[in-house]
Amino acid sequence: MDEKRALLRHVLGTIAYRGGKTLRDAPPGFAGFKAGETTRSPGQILAHIGDLFEWALSAAKGAQQWKESPQLEWDAEVRRFFDTLGALDAYLASDAPLGAPPEQLFQGPLADSLTHVGQLALLRRLAGASVKAENYFKADIMAGRVGTSQAPPRREF
């Protein structure tokens, strides 16, 4: 596997770790929480992240296609988050050719998803259910670990 593809897979592992931490134990009603009249709810943001991963996979396969999906119930959106992340990781782990430059996959859908995971963390705090801060430099994050089962935090504060 080339270095760029390996780095993309590590980015996906990072998104799974950080996203998982933000999604775990979300309080009832969090999906519909609104910080303001014009803001997206966590449920809408999570649906958008799933769309981003599907778009990234279509681009990686060389047939870039954007599709906006209807928002699902929270637990279904959480499953979709990990399922779409896993599908993208599996493609990157394969020998199949990349239909888009790795740099564009990162700068578009993957960087965007990191931004949205940060928004979810902020919304958790605003909703009164913040997640503990963590030294992510020390976190046990690895390429290929993109499911719900993640390593426990090493250094929270």
- pTM: predicted TM-score of the whole model, two decimal places: 0.96
- Residue 28, C-beta contacts closer than 8 angstroms, at least 6 positions apart: none
Mean pLDDT of 60-89: 97
Q: What is the pLDDT of residue 58?
A: 98
Eight-class DSSP state of 153 = P
Q: What is the pLDDT of residue 76?
A: 98
Query: How far apart, in whole angstroms, are the C-alpha atoms of residue 77 and residue 83?
Result: 10
Band of pLDDT at residue 140, cut at 50, 70 and 90: very high
Query: How far apart, in whole angstroms, are the C-alpha atoms of residue 19 and residue 66?
Result: 22
Q: Give the CA count within 13 Å in the CB-facing half-sphere of 66.
A: 6
Mean pLDDT of 110-134: 97
Q: What is the pLDDT of residues 92-115, one digit of tens each?
A: 999 999 999 999 999 999 999 999
- State the angle between helix axes of 42-60 and 74-93 in degrees (0 to 180), rounded to the nearest 10: 20
Q: What is the pLDDT of residue 1?
A: 75
Question: What whole-number percentage of the chain has pLDDT above 90?
Answer: 99
Query: What structural domains does the chain harbor?
Result: 3-138 (1.20.120.450)
Measured from the Cβ of residue 121, the count of other Cβ atoms closer than 10 Å reads: 18
